[in-house]
């Protein structure tokens, strides 16, 4: 597996990471835990070194899963986790608003270290920007955790350029994580230029459009009540049907390259900047191997121009999230 550095930091990770949320949260009933332990270890064996989790995934159970699976190979991996929510006191899925107060950040760090069975969090993201707490206070709290050796690198998720700059001035930001793919291109306008200027890495989550860009869905696809895509405007039957032109485009390029649509979608992301590291999620070994294979797919300038030209003609239908969640992004 090729390696990439996240911006100007010395944090080197596999060119394709693994988003672990779906192993215990959000995409329907969670899979068998021991099967997921085996999958995580299989990822390490295949060269994946970058794993993404958060306390809110479960809550807690996703971090515990990674702690069990990765503790035997701790020296080979980089683990990213996140703070920023008030979780439900009864431990049920979901949250009760944002909370990035310094004391909360430090408590989350202590708890995450225990669940992950590690001495230091490699990359600690603010999960969503909390307008009630100045970003400088957030950055300083993480700075103190770094000085104490409990955290190695600071990250932000779904943050706006002004917020990134203010945080970076207090504690250098190693990576920003936001949704980015061929059907979610918002970061291109302002976020990516800001990161390039400041030397910050970029970690696209949902790089396969929450499964849509794999080509395995159409207007007849249905989602269970425990699958959060059932609540997303972009996953209504009408939107799935309207957006299928993107999948057709990927399928055309994939046929020419003897690859899969998912591999083309990931290869397109890797070709945008050398400091971009996508983190597709999966619960299946064959999908893991397919995603890893994207790192060897070469897209020529002509291929990229063809994708860009065709994609420009396609209007993506449907919002990413319901409005109350969308309001937490781009702050």
The verdict on whether omega for the bond into residue 59 sits within 30 degrees of 0, i.e. cis, is: yes
Instruction: Using alpha carbons, select from 170, 114, 111 the residue that is nearest to residue 142.
Output: 170
57 annotated active-site: yes
Question: Cα–Cα distance between 201 and 192 in angstroms, integer?
Answer: 9
Pairing state of beta strands 154-157 and 173-179? parallel
Find the catalytic residue in 27, 57, 125, 180. 57
DSSP 8-state symbol, 88: P
Structure token digits, residue 148: 């104490």
Question: Cα–Cα distance between 40 and 67 in angstroms, integer?
Answer: 11
Question: Cα–Cα distance between 320 and 234 in angstroms, integer?
Answer: 6
224 and 28 in contact (C-beta within 8 Å)?
Answer: yes
Structure token digits, residue 273: 């900047």
For 18, 50, 118, 143, 147, the CA distances from 40, given in Å and listed in that order, are 9, 11, 16, 30, 30
Question: Cα–Cα distance between 273 and 66 in angstroms, integer?
Answer: 29
Only one residue has tokens 């291929």, namely 303
- Determine how many CB atoms are found less than 10 A away from the CB of residue 282: 23
DSSP 8-state symbol, 202: E
202 and 175 in contact (C-beta within 8 Å)?
Answer: yes
Question: Cα–Cα distance between 40 and 58 in angstroms, integer?
Answer: 17
Q: Which residues are the active-site residues?
A: 57
């Amino acid at each position: 597996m090729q390696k990439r550095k996240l911006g100007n930091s010395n944090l080197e990770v596999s060119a394709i990471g693994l988003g672990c949320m779906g192993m215990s949260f959000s995409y329907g009933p969670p899979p068998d835990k021991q099967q997921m332990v085996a999958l995580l270890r299989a990822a390490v064996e295949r060269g994946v070194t970058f794993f993404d989790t958060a306390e809110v995934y479960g809550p807690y159970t996703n971090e515990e899963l990674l702690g069990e699976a990765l503790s035997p190979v701790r020296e080979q991996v980089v683990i990213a986790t996140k703070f920023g929510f008030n979780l439900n006191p009864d431990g049920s899925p979901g949250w009760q608003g944002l909370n990035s107060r310094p004391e909360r950040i430090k408590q989350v760090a202590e708890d995450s270290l225990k669940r992950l069975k590690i001495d230091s969090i490699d990359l600690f993201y603010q999960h969503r920007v909390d307008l009630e707490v100045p970003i400088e206070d957030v950055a300083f709290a993480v700075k103190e955790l770094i000085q104490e050796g409990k955290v190695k690198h600071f990250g932000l998720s779904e943050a706006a350029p002004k917020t990134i700059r203010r945080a970076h001035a207090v504690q250098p930001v190693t990576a920003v994580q936001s949704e980015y793919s061929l059907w979610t291109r918002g970061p291109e306008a302002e976020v990516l230029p800001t990161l390039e200027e400041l030397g910050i890495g970029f970690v696209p989550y949902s790089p396969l459009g929450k499964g849509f860009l794999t080509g395995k869905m159409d207007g007849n696809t249905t989602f269970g009540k425990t699958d959060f895509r059932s609540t997303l405007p972009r996953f209504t039957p009408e939107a799935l049907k309207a957006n299928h032109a993107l999948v057709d485009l990927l399928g055309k390029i994939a046929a020419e390259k003897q690859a899969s649509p998912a591999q083309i979608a990931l290869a397109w992301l890797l070709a945008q900047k050398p400091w971009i590291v996508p983190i597709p999620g999966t619960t299946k070994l064959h999908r893991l191997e397919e995603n890893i294979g994207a790192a060897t797919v070469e897209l020529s300038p002509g291929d990229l121009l063809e994708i860009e030209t065709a994609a420009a003609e396609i209007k993506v239908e449907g919002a990413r999230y319901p409005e109350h969640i969308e309001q937490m992004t781009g702050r």
